Amino acid sequence: MLAELPGIERIRKRFVDMLAERQTQIASHGLAAWDATTVEEIKGNLASAQAILHQIAGSAGSLGFEELGRMARNCETQIVEHLAGPTANRAECPIEIISELDGFVAKCRQEIDAHA
């Protein structure tokens, strides 16, 4: 059904082009959250990463990148739950989130390389 869409290849290409920039942004927000020493910095960087993950999770599946979309959603859910949870006001970023983001960024690079 997806293949029937006349402009789907053009949108997939645009998605991959944007993914290069988005994964860089996610990685830098993740690193900044990990290095941060204040609650505000950690929360701010995680929220910024979550907003980008949210966009990828919303469109990747429709473009045939189901695994990438699922991983984006998992990362996003972890961040949302952390920010709404009891440990959100600690000045430390959970290692589990950074680890999940690391796996996601690696997957992004695979997809970008595969479509280069």
Residues that bind another protein (CB under 8 A): 1-2, 4-8, 11, 14-15, 18, 51, 54-55, 57-63, 69, 73, 76-77, 80
Q: How far is the CB of 21 from another protein (least distance, A)?
A: 12
Dihedral angle of Cα 32, 33, 34, 36, to the nearest 10 degrees: 80
Contacts by 64-68 with C-beta closer than 8 Å and gap 24+?
64/2, 64/12, 65/15, 65/111, 67/107, 68/107, 68/108, 68/111
Nearer to another protein, 27 or 80 (CB): 80
Nearer to another protein, 8 or 27 (CB): 8
Nearer to another protein, 36 or 60 (CB): 60
